[in-house]
Amino acid sequence: MKQTGESVVNVFRGKAPRLDLPPKVRQLLGEYGNRPIVRMFVRRDPIESAINTALNVISLGSWNSLKQKYGYDTFYHLQLEVIVRVSDSDDTNARFVLQKNEVIDVSPAKPSTDKTEMVEVPMTSGHTMNSLLSNAKQTMGEKFYYYDAFHNNCQDFVGALLSASGLMRPDISGFIKQPVDQLVQEISITDRVARGITDLGGIVDVGLQGKGGLQPTAAFAAQLKKAGITPSAYLEVAKKKANALGLAANM
């Protein structure tokens, strides 16, 4: 439980809930992180209806109203999708996405849908997933791990991955950035609450996955089971603690 407590403290101090990559991400990067990227795309998919509904609820209905006011029909989740050469003996490739939700995620790419939009990033050889992440971390500092729904989100993360490695272009920047500034100015309640929601998601990610090494996932899961606590109940406790300290009022 110690590492989860540390994550709660980090959030209460205005820091990222975890200051490293999740174990599953480190494992994937250990296998494929230094393999050469052969093609790269900025990918965006409409945000899930459940997320849109949640934003509307916690903003007391103003989220959808402001979207209509400013003519923003759709908001997108941004990812950097890369094709990686995974074999030295042949041309076998694999597709991965680098993205930031409540924590940084690197995972196999999901199939695109009819609503997916993609723009290819012109690039030269020599780029890897590890190099992209390392360069972005140097540029962003602690903001590399921290997530804020409106001020340090998925599009900022993808933008940093490209800019820090010299891959950003004006047309790609225009594809990435969504004009939410006007909404943010008029929807301050969502700004504060959304930050609390995503941070608490990060806390649970640490709790359920562990930081790796010090507290493996199985050990933490066993503790929850022994105590008769479900993951959802654990999340509720985290929410109550956040409310008590004023982190995410009105959740």
Q: What is the mean pLDDT of residues 105-127?
A: 95
**pLDDT at site 104:** 93
- 37 vs 7, residue with greater confidence: 37
Q: What phi and psi, each to the nearest 5 degrees, are found at residue 46?
A: -55, 140
Contact 8, 241 (CB under 8 A): yes
pLDDT at 206: 52
> What is the Cα–Cα distance from 15 to 44, expressed in whole angstroms?
27
Question: For residue range 28-63, what is the model confidence (pLDDT) as tens digits?
Answer: 999 999 999 999 999 999 876 656 666 666 566 777
Checking if the pLDDT of 113 tops 90, the result is yes
| pLDDT at res. 171 | 95
**Every domain of the chain and the residues it spans:** 2-244
Instruction: Provide the pLDDT for residue 193.
Output: 54
